[in-house]
């Protein structure tokens, strides 16, 4: 009898799947989601809008009106084209597949978003992680040295970075882009609503840069929509490996509707930025806890024992992310998503229990 071991790649057999813990009954502060729902009246109007969607038809492969609206709403430069993905994950996969020439490599700061490395491995690209400085700032010299040594196809720069929350210095980013003469630099702005800084206005200024975003952190994680902007000569090539109907009709219709109501989502992001500052102050005031600066909707915190911290909060029905084993620089670190004021208060109360032990 044929078994999976007979036909599945050995490296895939050795992998573990992306972990998504069950959050039933818990205060879910582990995945950087926006905790706010849409206002009731807006949700009702959205429902009425979705009721008119033709579910019996395939979605438009490149919905021209939605792309045009997205470009206007997100201030994408006129000289750029846009590619849509089923979340940023699919865009990263497209990049990996399109660039998987024999011997091709990917370089990114580490620790960083795990899908850069996973997608590279799936596409048989070699991944080289370049450690950040101890304070999680970018080691630009080391990154440039790695680029010069390996001549990677892709260089990822998360702006800000996950899981550290670091917003790299513009000068360092510019030096990396200039050094990557044989590479495409992908600037990942998944958390842009909380950073309030962006490279999007400059997306067409470089011949080796694309800017990638998602609407997930803006409050629409459930519709799975990412987008990448860059010069047409890049976008047209990556579009060739896009699954033909990758953005479903409900996602397209939801995005089209809510792009007309960005003020609601922007107000939620502003509230989360204020809650982030308050949460950072309260956690930093607790004994033996180090809070690192964050431009995302989460905080990276070093505690005496990350495993104990995770379990202690879990007993208080608060789910956070233990990132302590993801990378040596993250030893005894946990990642706290910024929630509502009430959720944050419960998380701080649970952290105080930890501090007393």
Structural domain contains residue 24? yes
Determine the pLDDT at residue 229.
Answer: 98
Determine the pLDDT at residue 196.
Answer: 85
On whether both 278 and 211 belong to a single domain, the answer is no
Cβ atoms within 10 Å of 47's Cβ, excluding its own? 9
Determine the pLDDT at residue 23.
Answer: 84
Range of the domain at 32: 4-39+263-356
Determine the pLDDT at residue 355.
Answer: 67
Structural domain contains residue 152? yes
On whether both 83 and 188 belong to a single domain, the answer is yes
The CATH number that applies at residue 276 is: 3.90.1150.10
> What total of structural domains would you count in the chain?
2
pTM here is 0.95
On whether both 303 and 343 belong to a single domain, the answer is yes
On whether both 256 and 267 belong to a single domain, the answer is no
Q: Which residue has the tokens 């990350």?
A: 306
On whether both 246 and 304 belong to a single domain, the answer is no
On whether both 82 and 159 belong to a single domain, the answer is yes
Structural domain contains residue 49? no
3-state secondary structure of 52: coil
Domain final residue, candidates 261, 285, 309: 261
Q: Residue 244: phi, psi to the nearest 5?
A: -60, -30
The tokens for 286 are 């607790």
3-state secondary structure of 189: coil
d(CA 266, CA 219): 9
Structural domain contains residue 135? yes
On whether both 81 and 10 belong to a single domain, the answer is no
On whether both 23 and 100 belong to a single domain, the answer is no
Q: Which residue from 185, 163, 162 is spatially nearest to 172, judged by alpha carbons?
A: 185
Q: Residue 195: phi, psi to the nearest 5?
A: -85, -30
Structural domain contains residue 47? no
On whether both 140 and 94 belong to a single domain, the answer is yes
The CATH number that applies at residue 153 is: 3.40.640.10
Buried b (16+ CB within 10 A) or exposed e, 87-111: bbbbbbbbbbbbbbeeebbbbbbbb
**Roughly how many angstroms between the first and final C-alpha of the chain, as a whole number?**
55
d(CA 179, CA 211): 18
d(CA 82, CA 256): 15
d(CA 89, CA 129): 18
d(CA 289, CA 301): 7
Alpha helices (H) in 199-333, listed in sequence order: 232-238, 249-258, 262-284, 306-315
Structural domain contains residue 21? yes
On whether both 105 and 221 belong to a single domain, the answer is yes
Domain final residue, candidates 226, 241, 261: 261
On whether both 168 and 283 belong to a single domain, the answer is no
pLDDT per residue rounded down to tens, the chain (357 residues): 899 988 999 988 898 888 788 888 899 999 999 999 999 999 999 999 999 999 999 999 999 999 999 999 999 999 999 999 999 999 999 999 999 999 999 999 999 999 999 999 999 999 999 999 999 999 999 999 999 999 999 999 999 999 999 999 999 999 999 999 999 999 999 999 999 899 999 999 999 999 999 998 888 999 999 999 999 999 999 999 999 999 999 999 999 999 999 999 999 999 999 999 999 999 999 999 999 999 999 999 999 999 999 999 999 999 999 999 999 999 999 999 999 999 999 999 999 988 666
Structural domain contains residue 45? no
Domain final residue, candidates 217, 235, 261: 261
Structural domain contains residue 158? yes
The tokens for 259 are 């792009």
Buried b (16+ CB within 10 A) or exposed e, 256-269: eebbeeeeebeebb
Instruction: Assess contact for 264 and 39: CB atoms under 8 A.
Output: yes
Determine the pLDDT at residue 357.
Answer: 64
On whether both 63 and 171 belong to a single domain, the answer is yes
């Amino acid at each position: 009898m044929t078994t999976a071991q007979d036909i599945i790649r050995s490296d895939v057999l050795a992998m573990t799947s992306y972990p998504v813990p069950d959050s039933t009954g818990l205060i879910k502060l582990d995945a950087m989601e926006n905790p706010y729902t849409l206002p009731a009246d807006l949700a009702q109007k959205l429902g009425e809008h979705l009721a008119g969607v033709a579910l019996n038809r395939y979605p438009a492969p490149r919905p021209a009106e939605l792309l045009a609206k997205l470009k206007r709403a997100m201030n994408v430069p006129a000289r750029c084209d846009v590619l849509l993905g089923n979340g940023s994950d699919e865009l990263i996969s497209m990049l990996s597949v399109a660039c998987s020439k024999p011997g091709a490599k990917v370089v990114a700061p580490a620790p960083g978003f795990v899908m850069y490395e996973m997608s590279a491995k799936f596409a048989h690209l070699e991944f080289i992680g370049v450690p950040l400085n101890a304070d999680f700032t970018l080691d630009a010299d080391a990154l440039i040295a790695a680029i010069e040594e390996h001549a990677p196809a892709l260089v990822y720069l998360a702006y800000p970075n996950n899981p550290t929350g670091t917003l790299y210095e513009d000068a360092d980013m510019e030096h990396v882009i200039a050094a990557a003469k044989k590479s495409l630099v992908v600037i990942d702005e998944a958390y842009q609503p909380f950073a309030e800084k962006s490279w999007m206005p400059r997306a067409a200024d470089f011949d080796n840069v694309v800017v990638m975003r998602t609407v997930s952190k803006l409050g629409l994680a459930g519709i799975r929509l990412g987008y990448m902007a860059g010069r047409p000569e890049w976008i047209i090539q990556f579009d060739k490996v896009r699954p033909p109907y990758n953005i479903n009709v409900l996602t397209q219709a939801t995005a089209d509707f809510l792009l007309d109501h960005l003020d609601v989502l922007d107000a939620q992001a502003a509230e989360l930025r204020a809650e982030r500052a308050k949460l950072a102050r309260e956690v930093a005031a607790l004994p033996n806890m180090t809070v690192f600066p964050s431009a995302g909707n989460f905080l990276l915190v070093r505690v005496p024992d990350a495993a104990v911290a995770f379990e202690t909060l879990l007993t208080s029905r608060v789910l956070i992310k233990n990132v302590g084993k993801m990378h040596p620089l993250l030893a005894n670190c946990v990642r706290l998503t910024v929630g509502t004021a009430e959720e944050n208060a419960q998380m701080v109360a649970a952290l105080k229990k930890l501090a007393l032990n």
